[in-house]
Amino acid sequence: MLKFLYKDVVIKAMAVETPPIEVTSAELEDKLAPLYERLGIPLGTLEKLSGIKSRYLWDKEVRPSQPATKVAESAISTAGIDKGDIDVLINCSVTRDYFEPATAALVHRNLGLKENSLAFDITNACIGFSDGLIVLSNMIEQGAARAGVIVTAEAISRTLEICIEHLIKSENLGRDKLLQLLPTLTLGSSAVAFVVTHKSLDSDGHRLVGAVSRTASEHNELCIGNDDFAAFQGDDFNPLMETESAKLIAAAAKLGGRTWRDASEAFGWSRDDVDHIFCHQVGRQVNDSFYQEMGLDISKEFTVYKKYGNPISAALPTALVIGSKEKQISKGEKVLLTAFGSGLNCRFIGIEW
């Protein structure tokens, strides 16, 4: 078992920024009406299969570093921490401004953070934010850092636009290929930031209990993006994502079951001990059967995918920030974060509120 246990790490503040442009699944499908008609697919299939009614997007000229900077500023302000005390900045988005420099370097500059600090990107599909939380927590636990910011901002507008153009122009595209590309249309945008510190800086913060990890790389071909998702590459920017959804969900459920057994042992939590679950949400496919396979209680899950779609690495932390307000999580309750990402990777993180 690969596990990380913490005694001195807390989440001091969280912030989320959702984009202003709402795009419904019906609007996307209207653009594909000729293709749907040719293949005999009824309009409404996207929402029926995924459960996603809408997603929110930035304007396509918005660079990921821009909402990342804004949401990080908001989290730092909420935390009431001096920027001079921030030792680490980790950006965790799949979409980035450039291939290089790291988007973290741009956000670091925009925030005016100190020179003697760490700033870098972690890009690992949908679990990047969870990986960032683990890496920063390890630094704080071992005493290398006292405070840091984890941020992600996914800007998926141009990717959606390119996917739709590809579908419209592909005269010989069949139903099977459409189903592989359809998950791209479930994606959305969001920006989230956490300020994470040593508990001596906030005795009332949400305590990180620990994290466990599994990587089932035999499934690495089930979700593949064919291009680097840096946002400003010029005319050559042509990212497409192909997903074997049914196989991916089935493999993730089995992997989640093994990971939950690790988490239960590492944290000392039983199924009944868990008060709240926040899962990386791709749509209604993460359902009762999925949770039964994992051995967890779906009634404890908080979902946002119907409204926000799948904002990639921002999906899980967006749900946590929104859910922590709407559910009014009580002090001392146990929160389980279940992150899944193509690879196939799985990270479960325990938090005591």
Query: Which DSSP symbol is given to 176?
Result: H
Q: Is the pLDDT of residue 173 over 90?
A: no
Q: Domain count of the chain?
A: 1
Count of CB atoms within 10 A of residue 226's CB? 9
Contact 126, 341 (CB under 8 A): yes
Q: Which residue has the tokens 């900045």?
A: 89
Condensed to tens digits (0 to 9), the pLDDT of residues 230-241 reads 655 555 556 677
Of the CA atoms within 13 Å of residue 182, those in its CB half-sphere come to 27
Condensed to tens digits (0 to 9), the pLDDT of residues 225-279 reads 765 556 555 555 566 777 788 898 899 999 999 999 999 999 999 999 999 999 9
In a domain, 339, yes or no: yes
Buried/exposed 33-43: b ≥16 CB within 10 Å, e otherwise = eebbeeeebee
pLDDT of residue 171: 81
In a domain, 213, yes or no: yes
Condensed to tens digits (0 to 9), the pLDDT of residues 97-143 reads 998 999 999 999 999 999 999 999 999 999 999 999 999 999 999 99
Condensed to tens digits (0 to 9), the pLDDT of residues 182-228 reads 889 999 999 999 999 999 999 899 999 999 999 999 998 888 776 55
In a domain, 264, yes or no: yes
Q: What is the rounded average pLDDT of the residues 283-293? A: 89
User: What is the span of the domain harbouring residue 262?
Assistant: 205-352
**CATH code at position 289:** 3.40.47.10
Main-chain dihedrals φ then ψ at residue 338, nearest 5 degrees: -115, 105
101 preceded by cis ω (within 30°)?
yes
Query: Which DSSP symbol is given to 147?
Result: E
